[in-house]
Structure 1
Amino acid sequence: MRCLVGLVRAFATKGVSNIMTTPSEPGDGRFDPGLSAIMSERRQLINLAYRLLGSLADTEDVVQETYARWYAMTRQQQKAIESPGAWLTTVASRICLDLLGSARARRERYVGEWIPEPLPDPTEWSDGRPGGSTVDPADRVALDESVNMAFLVVLEAMAPAERVAFILHDVFRYSFAEVAEIVGRTPAACRQLAWLARRRIHASQVPAAPTAQQAGIVRDFKKAWEAKDIDALVGLLDPDATGTADGGGLVSAMLRPMEGGERIARAFVAIAGLTPDLAILERTVNGRPGLVAQQDGVTVVVLAFDVAGERIRRIWSVLNPEKLRPWTTG
């Protein structure tokens, strides 16, 4: 029991990027195989909660609360659960569903545009191929198309039940019968919710450029930005490009998205002129080539790009210090 209490306390002090290991052999004061199996679900819960919430802090809270509920049960109650992994996923999904309702209300009062929190990643990219150091894969959010910024932004526009039904079925391959049990609706209703969400996703997406091509365009953007070359920046941006900045009311940021490639280019040149000591780094942002700007080693903005064809269609600039802290502290 002391071991379990210590484990739950450790959970409360470790973030999603920290490493947690659980010995699988019983005896000699070590954990038993059952506990190891429960802890092996941690990565699944992290992946699920981040896609549903778009927030690392909320993801951490959901995972902690899910495990706390498991350990609040008696040993007999735990043994009566046929599939602990399915139980943990169900509980985490329901917690997320409750959080999504309150989060939506908070974001409606948010100063400016709310952008999902970018995943801290020290990985550099070269021609679209990741390289450099990475953190332990057991505690990372798995990177795929369901975590790129364009995808997460569309998810934000969905109703909570719609978002949960879509992620559980289309991303994590749960049957509609399983989704219905979690969401509290009929399988037919969940099928309809997922269909509506799928239609939103398809309507918002255009064929993405190959990763190597994206990397080349983002690198050219970086060079033009550093050189304050407006013409080069305009040439890289779609004429109807959109730029969105998230300051969270803590940092001065645009209250509404900026429209037009030329306007965006001039804004970036102005930023470069005001901050000559800005260090611009090539980093992977939610699985795609992005940029990170730092001053004196502190991350001040993370840029995510949506590249279609040979032009940049959308730029998301995250300036909220709360969201950027993990990019500096690791």
Structure 2
Amino acid sequence: MSGRSERTKDTAEPPGRAGRTGPVDASTQVFVTHRNLLFTVAYEMLGSAADAEDVLQETWLRWVRVDLATVREQRSYLVRIVTRQALDRLRALGRRKETYVGPWLPEPLLTTPDVAEDVELADSVSMAMLLVLETLTPTERAVFVLREVFDVDYEEIAEAVGKSPAAVRQIAYRARSHVAARRPRGEVSPAETRAALEAFQSAVETGDLQRLIDILAPDVIALSDGGGIRHALLRPVVGADKVARLLAAGWWKRDAERSVEAVQINGGPGLLVRVGGKIDGVVAVRVENSRITGAYHVRNPEKLSRVERATAVSR
């Protein structure tokens, strides 16, 4: 499984959007206005930018057939369409993940510094949170994302997921409790994050085992995703000593061909690894109490198209 579906269209951009400066019709303008929001909803539900783009294309095709005069709340209407399409795709993704080779990680996004400044948005698109959301059922995930991240009314969520408002409230409570028990805790200042990433980057570039052990939390977890295409860990590695030895072995060690660049990945700290000038992988890290608690290494080349230029996400 590649995590990327076959598409008949290259983009979810509506007609008149890409590369054009002429006037656009009302439907196109509304869609473009909310596009970043819709992408973020779909991405948080799916953990895949490629599938989120497919959902946007499907949403657009349905949206252009709608009579705007009959739509009272355009944003809500679009969110409802994108949620339904994402739910259908999420259920299909679950079946595809069953045959995935090794750990499955979300498709990483290169994000701009302003995303990190919105603490709630950054947390919602982080690798750590997306992995927690993977443990919810499709409906729980949709309800949690819409309610907790985008503050959508229960009545609107009910229409989007095909449940009663009362049922949605129960699902929201259950999902919120589930996530609270598993999500990373504690806010980290930008200065603390930068210091931890710089120390981590220096240690992995030099292969300094002791420096790695010092910057890693005792219960740190390392996951890597090669998708059966590139070499990667087939199971999680847990513990500072084991993870440090893995990193010191040279996967990200700097040499004449390899470079490591600090970047923003999914609203948080990360490293972009190039070999011979070409992107070889990306490492997103989770920082808590000045130490690295999670390292998420994506090498599957079919998941790396969104780390070459920044992707806009919004609430």
TM-score by length of structure 1 reads 0.82
Structure 1 residue aligned with 2:176: 198
Structure 1 119/273 Cα, relative in aligned 2: closer, same or farther at 3 Å?
A: closer
Q: C-alpha offsets along residues 271-293 of structure 1, whole Å, 9 cap, x if unaligned?
A: 25887332010000111111111
Match of 1:87 among 70, 77, 83: 77
Aligned residues of 2:102 and 2:226 also touching (Cα < 8 A)? yes
Q: Tell me the percent identity.
A: 35
Q: 1:265 aligns to what?
A: 244
CA distance, structure 1, for counterparts of residue 201 and residue 207 of structure 2: 10
Partner of 2:51: 58
Tell whether 2:40 aligns with 1:42: no
Matched, 1:117 2:107: yes
| Residues 273 and 64 of structure 1, relative CA distance in 2, 3 Å threshold | closer
> Any idea what the Cα deviations from partners look like across 1:15-48, whole Å, max 9, x if unmatched?
67xx74887xxxxx73344542343121221121
What number of residue pairs does the alignment pair up? Answer: 296
CA contact (8 A) 1:97 1:160 kept: yes
Matched, 1:310 2:290: yes
Match of 1:289, SS? strand
Matched, 1:289 2:269: yes
CA distance in 2, matches of 1:175, 1:197: 16
Q: Deviations over 1:4-23 (max 9, x none)?
A: xxxxxxx943467xx74887
* Partner deviation per Cα, 1:149-206 (whole Å, 9 max, x = no partner): 1111101111000000111111111111111111111112111111122112221222
Select 1:187's aligned residue among 149, 159, 165: 165
- In structure 2, the CA distance between the partners of 1:161 and 1:245, relative to structure 1 (3 Å rule), is same
Structure 1 residues 40, 258: closer, same or farther in 2, change over 3 A?
Answer: same
After superposition, the Cα gap between the structure-2 partners of 1:41 and 1:124, relative to the gap in structure 1 and judged at 3 Å, is closer
Check 1:265–1:47 CA distance in 2 against 1; reply closer, same or farther (3 A cut). same
CA distance 1:257–1:34, change in 2 (3 Å): closer
TM-score normalised by structure 2 residue count: 0.86
> Following superposition of structure 1 onto structure 2, how do residues 120-269 of structure 1 map, counting pairs within 5 Å?
120-121=110-111, 143-204=121-182, 205-269=184-248
Deviations 1:300-323 (A, max 9, x none): 121111111122111111111011
* Structure 1 contact 111–249 (Cα < 8 Å) conserved: yes
Question: Cα 1:172–1:117, aligned 2, differ >3 Å: closer, same or farther?
Answer: same
Match of 1:30 in 2: 23
Residues 1:250 and 1:89: Cα distance change in structure 2 (over 3 Å): same
